[in-house]
Amino acid sequence: MVEELSSLARWECPPVSKRTFSLEHRRRVTDAGCWEWTGYVNPHVGYGMYRTETHNLYVHRMAYEELVGPIPEGLVLHHTCENRICFNPAHLEPITRSDHIKKHPEVSRWTD
Given the rule CB under 5 A, which residues bind Zn ion? 34, 81, 83, 86, 88, 91
φ/ψ bin of 74: left (φ > 0), alpha (ψ from -120 to 50), beta (otherwise): left
Least distance in Å: CB of 2 to Zn ion?
29
Shortest CB 86 distance to Zn ion, Å: 3
- The nearer residue to Zn ion, 69 or 87, going by C-beta atoms, is 87
Q: Which is nearer to Zn ion, 9 or 29 (CB)?
A: 29
- The residue among 19, 97, 8 whose CA lies nearest residue 63 is 19
Cα 111 to Cα 12: distance, rounded to the nearest angstrom: 31
**With respect to Zn ion, which residue has the nearer C-beta, 5 or 28?**
28
The least CB distance from residue 81 to Zn ion, in Å, is 3
What whole-number distance in Å separates Cα of residue 63 and Cα of residue 74? 18
